[in-house]
Amino acid sequence: MADDSSDEVLESRLDDHIVLVTLNRPEKRNAVNAAVASALEAIVKRTEADPDVWVVVLTSSSDRVFCAGADLAQVSAGATGGMNTADGGFAGFVDAVRLKPWIAAVEGIAVAGGCEICVACDMIVASENARFGLPEVKRSLVAGAGGVNRLHRMLPRNVAFEMIATGDPIEAARAHHFGMVNRLTAPGRALHAAHELALAIAANAPVAVQQAIAAARATLSATEAEAKVIVGAAMAKVRGAEDYAEGPRAFLEKRPPRWTGR
């Protein structure tokens, strides 16, 4: 795979239309510092701007930890500003405006900001050795980078509230049972399964996928009337894409579609 990397976050291609992003501070358990946040924000912007990128997979260079959250050395020093970017929020990612779908491929622990990065992704693939948690209350903090307001949308209310109030993690198998994790794998197989999921997504019309995912995100808290407007706007954008006529044409010609992503 071709590699376009910084030291803290690696960027490479898994396939023609799938980018692999790897958190790479294993000695610090991939704790988010200013360099990580800056690199992730830049990657989001770069992949969003590239019409040949259709799916992004986010993983870790360590099989023991996905991300342990904020770099506590920076927190204790009061230097937390660099971990948040103007456009992406915490880690340059959790509040980023995206059209491209992101899949988290998780081995090991994903806690605090690491869990919040996962829930900010569109899908999660995890191995049986993965754990997800929001331990902020154990340190007199609040999981304010999306944890407390997103987790209960992915898990049953009481399960999410227990995690938030106790700070205790849940195993990947339980997260999978409740639907937070899309696919559960044997240890060491999360990236492989995430790649398979990315390929299934990349086989579809890219603009349609992006607009459908964006509409799904936007309708999470919308009324039925608002949702109809949002979905209608997404469909209008799809109709304006080059690929709009390709799907029916390929079906009639009994061949695989040739998407352009435009």
Q: pLDDT tens across 158-184, in order?
A: 999 999 999 999 999 999 999 999 999
Token pair for 153: 């949308």
| 257 within domain boundaries | no
Half-sphere exposure of 152 (CA within 13 A, CB side): 11
| 261 within domain boundaries | no
pLDDT, residue 1, reads 39
Q: Contact, 83 vs 67, CB < 8 A?
A: no
| CA–CA separation, 133 and 109 (whole Å) | 8
Annotated catalytic sites, by residue?
A: 116, 136
Q: Does 192 share its domain with 218?
A: no
Number of H helices, E strands in the chain: 10, 12
Q: Does 184 share its domain with 212?
A: no
Q: Does 220 share its domain with 247?
A: yes
| CA–CA separation, 87 and 108 (whole Å) | 28
Per-residue pLDDT of the chain (262 residues; tens, 9 = 90+): 344 456 899 999 999 999 999 999 999 999 999 999 999 999 999 999 999 999 999 999 999 999 999 887 666 555 555 789 999 999 999 999 999 999 999 999 999 999 999 999 999 999 999 999 999 999 889 999 999 999 999 999 999 999 999 999 999 999 999 999 999 999 999 999 999 999 999 999 999 999 999 999 999 889 999 999 999 999 999 999 989 999 899 999 999 999 998 8
pLDDT, residue 3, reads 46
| 258 within domain boundaries | no
Give me the number of domains the chain comprises: 2
Q: Does 82 share its domain with 197?
A: yes
pTM of the complete model: 0.92
Q: Does 67 share its domain with 184?
A: yes
pLDDT, residue 221, reads 85
Q: Does 99 share its domain with 218?
A: no
Amino acid at 257: P
| 1 within domain boundaries | no
| CA–CA separation, 21 and 14 (whole Å) | 10
> Which residue is associated with the tokens 């988010």?
32
Q: Does 130 share its domain with 230?
A: no
Q: Does 154 share its domain with 93?
A: yes
Domain with 103 in it: 9-202
| 262 within domain boundaries | no
Q: Does 74 share its domain with 165?
A: yes
| 99 within domain boundaries | yes
pLDDT, residue 77, reads 53
In terms of Cα–Cα distance, which of 237, 256, 203, 244 is closest to 17?
Answer: 203
Amino acid at 112: A
Q: Contact, 137 vs 167, CB < 8 A?
A: yes
Q: Does 41 share its domain with 118?
A: yes
Q: In CATH, what number is assigned to the domain containing residue 115? A: 3.90.226.10
Burial 205-216 (b: 16+ CB within 10 A, else e): bbbbbbbbbbbe
Q: Does 175 share its domain with 225?
A: no
Q: Does 113 share its domain with 235?
A: no
